[in-house]
Copies of this chain bind each other. A is one copy, B any other.
Amino acid sequence: MSIKIFIVDDHYMIVEGIRSLLQYQKGLEWMGHAMNAASCMAYLQQQQPDVILMDINLPDKSGIDLCKEVKSKYKNIHIVGLSSYNQQSFIQKMLENGASGYVLKNATREELVDAIEMVMEGKIFLSNEAELTVQKNDNSKTPIITRREKEVLLLIANGLTNNEIALKLFISITTVETHRKNLLAKFEVKNTASLIRMATQCQLI
């Protein structure tokens, strides 16, 4: 029985490219594609593929979120993340949200087919380069910050002072100072400039 493949990507060229790469591959059945998260979910109500190739960047919501949503409703669907960015944080988040693999958009046909077959066997597949990235950045410098801290961080990035943040969040200025203190500690920096810089690099802003 063929493995049923579905693609979610808003780039025609990618969709066409994958279709073209896979079309004469036996054992695979092309079910179609969606260009955004909403139509993907709508499609899944009618039919379920075995494997979804899913772009990280969709117009209506991030592939990372969509991944979670799909997996929570359809446990048997295997998801392979698809992206041109070889960024550790994305890879990790996709896997945390239930993805079984991650393929870069410069993958070859062989890599793509491998990925599909491996995730069907319940294994994890990562593109060569993606795997390297994970290893290289595994002891990632991105600190774990709490929800509140992130909130404060964003407001700091927007140029608000501690006082303004306090007013906005209905908390004491001393609390804001504490959050800020913790952020500086977690990012291992000693002032606002570095904080914003690091946070930007960690794509938290």
Contact = CB atoms under 8 A, between A and B. Distances in A.
Contacts of A11: 17, 84, 105-106
A72 interface: no
Q: Is the interface of A mostly helix, strand, loop or mixed?
A: helix
Interface stretch (A132-140, A143-151, A191-199): A191-199
A159 B106 contact: no
A71 interface: no
A156 interface: yes
Given A20-B20, A84-B84, A12 B109 contact: yes
Contacts of A194: 157-159
A56 to B, nearest CB: 11
Q: How large is the interface on A (under 10, 10 to 19, 20 to 34, 35 or more residues)?
A: 35 or more
A109 B10 CA distance: 13
A178 interface: no
Contacts of A106: 10-13
A200 interface: yes
Contact of A157 (B108, B190, B197): B197
Contacts of A57: 84
The 8 closest A-B pairs by CB, nearest first: A17-B17, A159-B194, A13-B17, A16-B17, A20-B20, A196-B196, A16-B20, A11-B106
